[in-house]
């Protein structure tokens, strides 16, 4: 099923590829395109069934229309701006031999183009969940999969939330996980997702991603938490950023002492106190890059506004921004030119963070801005992928 709105060229490309790679029945849902005749002509030329909304109702409603028009046991969704690999359906469908699997998604990668946006998307698309497979659930290394390309079991999925204009795919995945279904991410299969054709639309896309946080938090609570950490780790890193190393060392020592008590009855090489100090220091060092990344991506606009007003904040904020961008550059494989990548990464983060703030104001909910602070058995905090 292919939802489309005002993208006849993308629809043409994906239908052409589908015709060569699959015998599956294809349905196009036109979500109120201005040029509905073009969508009808292209769909007919490729033998695809066409359903149409007279006015735009959003991606969730479009997917629901296609979903409810079929009784097929498996339904594959592809956006009109995607291009799948030749064997994408066959390899993903095999996962459904496991009866607890409710949905499977491939890796969604950026295009291999020459423009700055295309090169950035190829290296660090927010829809690219990396090269490691996994079961999808909140708080893990694969917390969601995008609806741009996903296959669902018809008996597991009854609807996408039509009231969500962005984030309806995340909501679906989390509802499936909460009800006991497994959602699998298989990066051995890849789908290319086109970059937005202009800077304005590219930034608007990132802003819209941020807007989804508040309504998702209203439905799923702490699953949307922008930052997850042991409060001792977060406080230690914060003290370092504020230029208070002695206080940071004192807090780290207290954390190590607490950990040493947890190790009573366990014989550690070099002694429990020494081992606890090493674990605490190593855990804090490992957590710091992820904390910087998560902090700047969500709170970047607030931090920069604060730094403008309060001079003492400028150095810590600059450090967080630099660390967050460096982490993303490193994880993306150190793409070149580094300065261009860093600039787009900062713009991406600020647009997303502004969307999160705007969504919280619009919904009058601060939950999407609230970090999840939970003491851990060790001081190693989860590291955010983006």
Do the domain assignments include residue 319?
Answer: yes
**Residues 348, 245 share a domain:** yes
**Residues 107, 55 share a domain:** yes
pTM: 0.89
Asked if residue 172 lies in contact with residue 146, where contact means CB atoms within 8 angstroms, the answer is no
**Residues 179, 233 share a domain:** no
Q: How many domains does the chain have?
A: 2
Cis peptide before 337 (omega within 30 of 0): yes
> In tens digits, what is the pLDDT along the chain, a chain of 386 residues?
999 999 999 999 999 988 776 678 899 999 999 999 999 999 999 999 999 999 999 999 999 999 999 999 999 999 999 999 888 898 899 999 999 999 999 999 998 888 999 999 999 999 999 999 999 999 888 999 999 999 999 999 999 999 999 999 999 999 999 999 999 999 999 999 999 989 999 999 999 999 999 999 999 999 999 988 888 888 888 888 888 888 878 887 877 777 766 655 555 555 557 766 777 777 777 888 888 999 999 999 999 999 999 999 999 999 999 999 999 999 999 998 999 999 999 999 999 999 999 999 999 999 999 999 887 654 333 333 35
Do the domain assignments include residue 279?
Answer: yes
User: Crossing angle, helix 213-220 and helix 199-211, to 10 degrees?
Assistant: 20
Using alpha carbons only, give the angle 278, 284, 285 rounded to the nearest 5 degrees: 90
* Among candidate residues 176, 195, 214, the one where a domain is terminated: 195
Do the domain assignments include residue 386?
Answer: no
**Residues 93, 176 share a domain:** yes
- 45: CB partners within 8 A, 6+ apart: 15
Cα separation, 48 vs 59, whole angstroms: 19
Q: Which uninterrupted H or E stretch holds 275?
A: helix 272-309
* Among candidate residues 142, 171, 195, the one where a domain is terminated: 195
**Residues 251, 185 share a domain:** no
Cα separation, 237 vs 249, whole angstroms: 10
82: left (phi over 0), alpha (psi -120 to 50) or beta: beta
Do the domain assignments include residue 27?
Answer: yes
**Residues 163, 36 share a domain:** yes
Cα separation, 250 vs 182, whole angstroms: 44
* Among candidate residues 141, 175, 195, the one where a domain is terminated: 195
Residue of 81, 118, 86, 58 whose CA lies nearest to 7: 81
Tokens 């590291």 belong to 383
Asked if residue 193 lies in contact with residue 80, where contact means CB atoms within 8 angstroms, the answer is no
At 154, which CATH number? 3.90.550.10
Tokens 């999840």 belong to 372
Domain that holds residue 332: 228-373
**Residues 138, 235 share a domain:** no
**Residues 252, 191 share a domain:** no
């Amino acid at each position: 099923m292919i939802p489309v709105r005002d993208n006849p060229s993308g629809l043409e490309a994906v239908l052409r590829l589908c015709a060569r790679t699959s015998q599956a029945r294809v349905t196009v849902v036109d979500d109120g395109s201005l040029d509905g005749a073009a969508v009808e002509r292209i769909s007919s030329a490729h033998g695809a069934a066409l359903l149409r909304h007279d006015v735009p109702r959003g991606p969730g409603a479009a997917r629901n229309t296609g979903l409810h028009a079929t009784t097929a046991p498996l339904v594959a969704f592809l956006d009109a701006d995607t291009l799948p690999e030749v064997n994408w359906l066959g390899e993903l469908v095999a996962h459904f031999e496991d009866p607890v699997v409710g949905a499977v998604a491939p890796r969604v990668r950026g295009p291999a183009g020459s423009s700055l946006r295309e090169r950035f998307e190829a290296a660090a698309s927010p829809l690219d969940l990396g090269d490691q497979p996994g079961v999808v659930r909140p708080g893990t290394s694969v917390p969601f999969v995008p609806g741009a390309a996903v296959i669902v079991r018809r008996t597991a999925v009854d609807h996408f939330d039509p009231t969500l204009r962005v984030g309806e795919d995340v909501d679906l995945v989390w509802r499936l996980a909460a009800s006991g279904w497994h959602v699998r991410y298989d990066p051995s299969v890849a789908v290319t997702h086109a970059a937005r054709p202009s800077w304005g639309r590219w930034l608007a896309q990132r802003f819209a991603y941020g807007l989804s946080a508040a309504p998702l938090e209203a439905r799923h609570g702490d699953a949307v938490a922008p930052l997850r950490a042991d409060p001792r780790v977060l406080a230690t890193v914060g003290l370092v950023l504020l230029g208070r190393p002695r206080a940071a060392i004192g807090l780290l020592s207290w954390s190590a002492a607490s950990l040493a008590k947890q190790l009573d009855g366990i014989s550690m090489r070099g002694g429990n106190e020494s081992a606890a100090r090493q674990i605490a220091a190593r855990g804090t060092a490992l957590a710091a890059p992820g904390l910087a990344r998560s902090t700047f991506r969500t709170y970047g606009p607030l931090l920069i506004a604060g730094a403008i007003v309060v001079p003492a904040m400028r150095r810590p904020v600059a450090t967080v921004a630099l660390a967050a961008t460096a982490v993303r550059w490193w994880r993306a494989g150190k793409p070149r030119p580094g300065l261009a990548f860093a600039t787009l990464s900062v713009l991406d983060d600020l647009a997303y963070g502004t969307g999160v703030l705007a969504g919280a104001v619009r919904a009058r909910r601060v939950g999407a801005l609230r970090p999840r602070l939970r003491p851990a058995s060790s001081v190693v905090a989860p590291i955010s992928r983006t």
